[in-house]
Structure 1
Amino acid sequence: MSQASTAGAEPEFALTNFRVRVLLVDDQLLVVEAVRRMLADQADIEFHFVTDPATAVDCAKRLQPTVILQDLVMPGWDGFDLIQRYRACLQLEHVPVIVLSSREEAASKAHGFAVGANDYLVKLPDRLELLARVRYHSSAHISRLQRDEAFRFLRESQKHLAEANIELQKLAALDSLTGIANRRRFDEMLHSEWQRGQRERRPLSLLLCDIDCFKMYNDTFGHLAGDLCLKKAAAVMTACLKRPADLAARYGGEEFALVLPDTDAAGARTVAEECLRALAELNIENPQASHRIVTMSIGVATLVPAAGKSPAELVEGADRALYAAKDGGRNRATSAVAQAVQTNTGSGSSNTP
C-alpha cells in the first residue's frame, strides 16, 4: 500500500494506489503478442493473458485486473458467455470488459453491451486508441475500488468510534477508585428508576451506607490502606446485590448508595443486613473504633414514586435514617419509618464513639 505523508507525519489511512492491470483473453498467440507490444513500453500498465478460455474466470479472480480484453470467438467457447460469467462473479462483476472482436456487425456490438461489456473494439485496434480506452476504463474502475475502500474504512472508523464512545460512557459512569458506579451514574439511575416506578406504581428503595469511623482508620493505617478498605467495602456491597437492575454506587468519600428498584421495605432491609454481615465477616481491623473492626451504618428508605413526590424525598429519608443509625450506635441499619435495628453480628452497641 502506498501512503502519502503530510508535514513528515504518516496519516492513519491512505487509499491504495492500484496499478492498471490488463488481462487479455484470446486463443490466438499472434493477437496476444501484438497487444503485448502495444502496451510494453507503458511502465504503469501490467499485462497478463490467457489463451485457454476455460481458465479465464479463475485467472481473473486471482489477478483482479482493472480491465479485461475479451475475444468473442474461441474454440468451444462463446466470448459473450464468458462476459456473463464475469458479471455473475461477485469479485468480477464491476471489472470493465472491452470486447476485442473481428466482428463489426451492429448486432454483435449490441449483444456485447447487453450481456455486460463496457466497450467494443474491432481487432486489432490502433495502439493509441487501445491505450486510451484501457486507461479510461481502468481509471473508472480504480476510482470505484478506492471509493469502496474509503467507505469500508469509514464504516470501520465509525464502528470503532461507536465502541470507543460506549467505553467512554461506561468509564464516565464509574468511580475511578472502587470501580463501581459514581455519583453521576447514581443520580441518572435514581431519576430513571423513579420515573419507571411512578409509571408502574412499584416501590423503589434506597440504602445510604457510610463506613464507620473511617477517619480513624485512615489516621491509623494511612490513605493507601484507606483506599483498599473502600474497595473492599464496594466489593461487599456489589456482591450483596442479586439482580441486574440493582445498583451500587460511591456516593462520596466513604459513603455508598444502593438503588433497589421494585423492592419493598422488607426486601431493602434484608439487603442492608446482608451488607452489614458481609463487611463484618471481613474482620478488617480498626483498633481506634468502638467495634475494633471496620463496620458501616446504613439508612434505608422506601417509597412508591407518585405525582407530587420527588427522588429527593427518598434521598432525604435515607439520609435521616443513616444519621439515626449513627446516633444509635453504628454498625446497624435503620429504616426511615422504623427504629434502629441491631444486626445479628454481635457487634452492635448503643454507644456512639
Structure 2
Amino acid sequence: MSAPDSAAAPLLEPAGPSVRVLLVDDQAVVGVILRTMLAADPDIEVQTCLRAEDAVATAVQMQPTAILQDLGMPGIDGLDLVRAYRRQPELQHVPIIVLSANDDPLMKRASFSAGANDYLVKLPEPIETTARIRYHSRAYRLLLERDSAYQALRASQQALLARNEELRRLTQVDGLTNVSNRRYFDEHFAQEWSLAALEGTEIALLMIDVDHFKSFNDHFGHLAGDAALQSVARTIRSVARSCEGLAARFGGEEFALMASRTSLAQAMVLGESVCAQVQQLRIPAAPPSPHPWLSVSIGAAAMVPDAATLSADLIAQADACLYSAKRQGRNRVVTR
C-alpha cells in the first residue's frame, strides 16, 4: 500500500475549543454579557475570574490563548496586573486585551507599555470582540507551534550531532582498545608531518609491541589477551596525553605513539615511561618470557621533515629500533 500524500492530508484541529479566553472583571454582569457575546462561537471557551488577586494563578493554571483584562478593578491597579502576567514565564507571550471605559490615548499608551497587546473600550461590538480574540489567539498558537517546532528541530540536531560523534568514534577509534585506529593514525600522522615540515619542527614516533603476546594468548586465552591489550592501550594513551600526542593501535599487538614538536631525547623519556607503567600493571607474563610481568618493546625515532624525507622514513626508523629492542631482550626502549 502506498503512503498517503502528506501534502493533501488535512490538518487535524485539536479536540475541544481552540480559543481559551480568561475574562478578568470584578463586575459579574460584564462577564455575563461577554460570555453571552462569545457563546455564539463554539470554538471559544470562556472562563471568568472576578477577583484580581486570583487572576495570575488562574491564568497559569488555565493557560489561555487570550486574556480579557478590565483595567478598573478594586484592590489593584489594572496595569500592575498586566505587568504581573508578564513576570510569569508561562504567561510572557499570552495576548492580553485590556477593557476600559476610558478612550484616552494616554491610557492606551500606558496599557501597551505595560505589556498589553490590544485595547478595547467596553462594551465593544460582538463582531469586533470575537475577531480580535480569534486574531490574537491564532497568532499566539502559531507562536507556540513555531517554538515547539524549533525545540523539536534543536532536539533533532542534538541527536544528529550525537550520532555523528558516535560515527566519528566508530570510524576513528579501535573498537577493542579505544585508542585511535590505524586509519585515523595514518591521516593524522600525514597532517602532522606536513605541519612539521612547514614549521621546521621535530616529530617523534614510538613503535610499541607487546612482548610474547602470541604465547600470552595461547597460555591465558584470548579473553585475557584482549584485556591485556586494553590495559596496555590505556597506559599508552595516558602517556600520549601528557605530551599532547596520539596513541593508536597499529595492528595486532602493536601500537604507535606520535608526538609533534618532540625531540629524540624526549621520545626516549616517553618510551621509558610506557615501559615502566606497563610493568606496574602487574599482568603475569607467559612462557617463554624471562620477565615475571607482561612487558613491551619500544623503538623510538625523531626527525625534522624536509624535501628529502617521507613520513614512511620515520616509521621505518622507529620500526627498525623496535626490532633492535626485541633482539636485545625486550622490555626496553631503543633509539636510532
Which TM-score tier does this pair reach, normalised by the shorter chain?
A: 0.7 to 0.9
* Structure 2 partner of 1:350: none
* Structure 1 partner of 2:50: 51
* Structure 2 partner of 1:301: 301
Q: Which range moved further: 286-295 or 302-311?
A: 286-295
1:170 paired to 2:162: no
* Structure 2 partner of 1:345: none
Residues 208, 257 of structure 1: 8 Å contact kept = yes
> What is the CA-CA distance between 1:124 and the residue it aligns to?
5.3
* Structure 1 partner of 2:237: 238
Unaligned runs of 5+ in 1: 1-5, 8-13, 338-353
Q: Which range moved further: 146-155 or 215-224?
A: 215-224
* Structure 2 partner of 1:147: 146
* Structure 2 partner of 1:266: 265
Q: Write out per-residue CA displacement over residues 11-57 of structure 1, whole angstroms, 9 at most, x where no aligned residue.
A: xxx99989422111222111112223344576654322233445545
1:330 paired to 2:330: yes
Unaligned runs of 5+ in 2: 5-11
Q: Which range moved further: 255-264 or 308-317?
A: 308-317
Residues 183, 249 of structure 1: 8 Å contact kept = yes
Residues 300, 318 of structure 2: 8 Å contact kept = yes
The secondary structure found in structure 2 opposite 1:154 is helix
Q: 1-side partners of 2:311 and 2:82: how far apart?
A: 71
Q: Which range moved further: 110-119 or 209-218?
A: 110-119
Q: 1-side partners of 2:79 and 2:313: how far apart?
A: 80
Q: 2-side partners of 1:69 and 1:135: how far apart?
A: 12
More helix per residue: 2
The 1:58–1:299 alpha-carbon spacing in structure 2 relative to 1, beyond 3 Å, is same
1:135 paired to 2:134: yes
* Structure 1 partner of 2:7: none
The secondary structure found in structure 1 opposite 2:93 is coil
* Structure 2 partner of 1:248: 247
The secondary structure found in structure 2 opposite 1:232 is helix
* Structure 1 partner of 2:192: 193
Q: 2-side partners of 1:25 and 1:330: how far apart?
A: 87
CA RMSD of aligned residues (A): 3.6
The 1:35–1:174 alpha-carbon spacing in structure 2 relative to 1, beyond 3 Å, is same
Q: Write out per-residue CA displacement over residues 251-299 of structure 1, whole angstroms, 9 at most, x where no aligned residue.
A: 1111111112332112212222333344345252311446576433221
Q: Which range moved further: 214-223 or 112-121?
A: 112-121
* Structure 2 partner of 1:212: 211
Q: 2-side partners of 1:117 and 1:292: how far apart?
A: 82
Residues 284, 294 of structure 1: 8 Å contact kept = yes
| Correspondence 1:77-92 to 2 at 5 A | 79=78, 83=82, 91-92=90-91
Residues 66, 137 of structure 2: 8 Å contact kept = yes
> What is the CA-CA distance between 1:318 and the residue it aligns to?
0.9
Residues 279, 295 of structure 1: 8 Å contact kept = yes
The 1:270–1:56 alpha-carbon spacing in structure 2 relative to 1, beyond 3 Å, is same
Query: Aligned partner of 1:285: which letter?
Result: A
